[in-house]
Structure 1
């Protein structure tokens, strides 16, 4: 589960899409907030301008008559100023010792307004002030107020015009709904286009992965393809790494071959000379020479495998190798029936062909040596835990089973020891099974022996598989 989560979070496409989505969402939220704020400020300024215009209309319609009273009938052209409790009112109040009844719109009637003091809402440099309050009907209204001298004797009055703020809030709400719908459509379209652009932009990485998969599967020796300018340096470096790896493998093979050639002759001379001296001393020399030969073989194997184990070019197809070995064993053992069953064609081992031939050939040869009538060989892909605890990986399971006498647990442990021969009457050096286990171990594989269903020996060989990715 952790591996799957890590794989998803490690996806470059997922990261870019996630960051683009988060950025787009945050940007759209910020834009929505900024536009809504600017629209609210603009709408409130426009509303105040309307109230100011109505205020000046009221001022122009008011005068003082011969009885020293305020008179006038403002015609504001808005029926809401005549509808009771509408929130749209006008008021004219005398100031100072100018005693005359106040004039109010019919919409306000006898109800008053809870006007704040000048200290709470001071006049501006134009001697106007705007403030909000609630009327007796519960409406939240915006008030435009000013003071004007009406005649040459200094008699003045305070003028107020109010407007219902529900109109402003309704306009802002309508605009916000339209804005949010428009931004949502724009955001969804942008995310869709961004996603397509990102997927298209990262497509060359898929081509690079496919090219690398061909190298890994042994279908190509280098990364081939036309890559963008940003990816081409990576492809060049990978090709340089592959070339360097190939040179290291070839150098290791050459050095191993040279070492094997230089040691082969001295050991052969020792074995030959051992036959010419007295039996007791000769047997000692021969035993030690054979031990030297076994050790040389072991460490030559390890050196060669260590040099090529991590190579991306170490690939061997299972079918032709095993079929060729079985054909040879059928000719050498005409009285033994060899049954071969390979689960599917195209199975590929992450091993050198020489090592595959040696481990499988040793097992089949050992089974043929002790079989009564038949030897069964099978190969199939499996998934199993790796010994180092790094999770499951793909393997190929090779089973070789004979119908011979088989081995008990003690004999199995002894058979896997280097140089041990359980049956001295059979030809061999006692190195086969131990070499198989050592070579398998160098590739992180395993060899296990058990008693088969028919009573014979069953050898189970687990070797690393090459998994072809579908791109």
Structure 2
């Protein structure tokens, strides 16, 4: 099904123009053909009337006292002919027929109410025939009067008309199509302006759409402005909560640092590192909340994946693990780069820990999402543990990790309307599929 509104409108216009012009062509052709045929029928009837007036009887004997005066009747094979058949096979005919006699028995049905015969030069003739009875004192005398003309003359006239009409209709179609293109362009221009205005809202240059433009679009603009207002309120609420959370963490973290001063050097260093990580995470969330960029940023999948791999590659290179990446450069996810880096980084970190020889990364479009698959050829996970590994605090290796990495990835993707699923990989290990909102 055609998704483009422009193509739909233009396609409808083309079909409508073609249908209407075909109807016009058919109607005009029929009208002109009938008009030409009527004119020839009238001319042939006039010739027959002249023939009927020129036949006289002297007793039982018929004779022509007057003939039609058109000079073409005197020229052999001229294309215009007449013939009179009287009693006992008596025949009078025009000089144009030369020595050819039109037999009534050989006449066939022709177009436009005429009958068809073969002329002296072999060309087809259209014939009009009339039978009549002349009453005289000696009795009634039957006559058969024929007037004929070359069919090619009428066919050529109709063909020339069709040629001129075709040129006229083609020019008309070109003008109408140009008008349709112009109309569609002018009609859809407000949608292009609306798209540009939405881009300004998305970039943060303005917070509302101008209430102007065609009457038909104003209800849509009103609904979009209402949606933007609700979104702004929700963002402000989220900013306030993130700010409260970030500030609320500062005091407990300060207390932890003070308590750490009383611990041995090793434990003191470990606690300070963890507190610094918590502070960095809180500061980043507070900054993101202030900017309100989470749902407005876009991230190139190929670029970000390449950066993460460059960080992890030294670890895998020492073990001989190879990276296989198949991601289109044009794919972008509607997610903040830092959030996607955290979600994908945890999954890649998990893959580097268990992969033996290969880590495969690929991306493709699936419905409304981009599906990013990360696969390794490690030992994998039992089917009964596939659901559990994304839960917070669950880790299958006894001495490794905190069990938070994949759970954090799941939380980040869920916040953006995405998700993460796990399955057995075709190359032997675990397959993690990240479903990201975005476009290919």
Name the TM-score, length of structure 1 as normaliser.
0.57
Task: Give the structure 2 partner of residue 298 of structure 1.
Answer: 281
The structure richer in helix per residue is 2
Matched length = 315
Q: CA deviation at 1:303?
A: 9.1
SS of corresponding position for 2:233: helix
Separation in structure 2 between the aligned mates of residue 65 and residue 90 of structure 1, nearest angstrom: 22
| Aligned residue among 315, 322, 330 for 1:391 | 330
SS of corresponding position for 2:78: coil
| Aligned residue among 226, 235, 249 for 1:263 | 249
- Aligned CA distance change for structure 1 residues 233 and 252 (closer, same or farther; 3 Å): same
1:18-48, Cα deviation, whole Å (9 max, x unpaired): 4323432343233223211221122112212
Q: CA deviation at 1:139?
A: 2.0
1:243-276, Cα deviation, whole Å (9 max, x unpaired): 2322222222221222222232223223322334
Task: Give the structure 2 partner of residue 105 of structure 1.
Answer: 94
Q: Does 1:173 align with 2:159?
A: yes
Task: Give the structure 2 partner of residue 329 of structure 1.
Answer: none
| Aligned residue among 96, 112, 129 for 1:145 | 129
Structure 1 residue ranges without an equivalent (≥5): 1-5, 123-128, 315-348, 351-385, 395-412, 415-437, 445-471
1:395-426, Cα deviation, whole Å (9 max, x unpaired): xxxxxxxxxxxxxxxxxx99xxxxxxxxxxxx
Task: Give the structure 2 partner of residue 76 of structure 1.
Answer: 68
- Aligned CA distance change for structure 1 residues 31 and 246 (closer, same or farther; 3 Å): same
Q: Does 1:251 align with 2:237?
A: yes
Separation in structure 1 between the aligned mates of residue 120 and residue 165 of structure 2, nearest angstrom: 34
- Aligned CA distance change for structure 1 residues 221 and 234 (closer, same or farther; 3 Å): same
Q: CA deviation at 1:162?
A: 0.6
Structure 2 residue ranges without an equivalent (≥5): 300-324, 334-351, 354-408, 417-440
SS of corresponding position for 2:130: strand
Q: CA deviation at 1:163?
A: 1.5
Q: Does 1:89 align with 2:81?
A: yes
Would you say the 8 A contact 2:243–2:286 is kept in 1? no
Separation in structure 1 between the aligned mates of residue 117 and residue 283 of structure 2, nearest angstrom: 97
Q: Does 1:229 align with 2:215?
A: yes
SS of corresponding position for 1:155: strand
- Aligned CA distance change for structure 1 residues 116 and 266 (closer, same or farther; 3 Å): farther
Separation in structure 1 between the aligned mates of residue 70 and residue 283 of structure 2, nearest angstrom: 106
- Aligned CA distance change for structure 1 residues 199 and 77 (closer, same or farther; 3 Å): farther
Would you say the 8 A contact 1:80–1:107 is kept in 2? yes
SS of corresponding position for 1:231: helix
Q: Does 1:51 align with 2:34?
A: no
Separation in structure 2 between the aligned mates of residue 256 and residue 388 of structure 1, nearest angstrom: 34
1:138-174, Cα deviation, whole Å (9 max, x unpaired): 2221111121112252321211111222221232123
Q: CA deviation at 1:305?
A: 5.0
Would you say the 8 A contact 1:69–1:101 is kept in 2? no
- Aligned CA distance change for structure 1 residues 310 and 21 (closer, same or farther; 3 Å): farther
| Aligned residue among 29, 32, 37 for 1:36 | 29
Name the TM-score, length of structure 2 as normaliser.
0.60
1:1-20 superposed matches below 5 A: 11-20=4-13
Q: CA deviation at 1:302?
A: 6.1
SS of corresponding position for 1:151: strand
**RMSD of aligned C-alpha atoms?**
4.2
Q: CA deviation at 1:194?
A: 3.1
Separation in structure 2 between the aligned mates of residue 271 and residue 133 of structure 1, nearest angstrom: 118
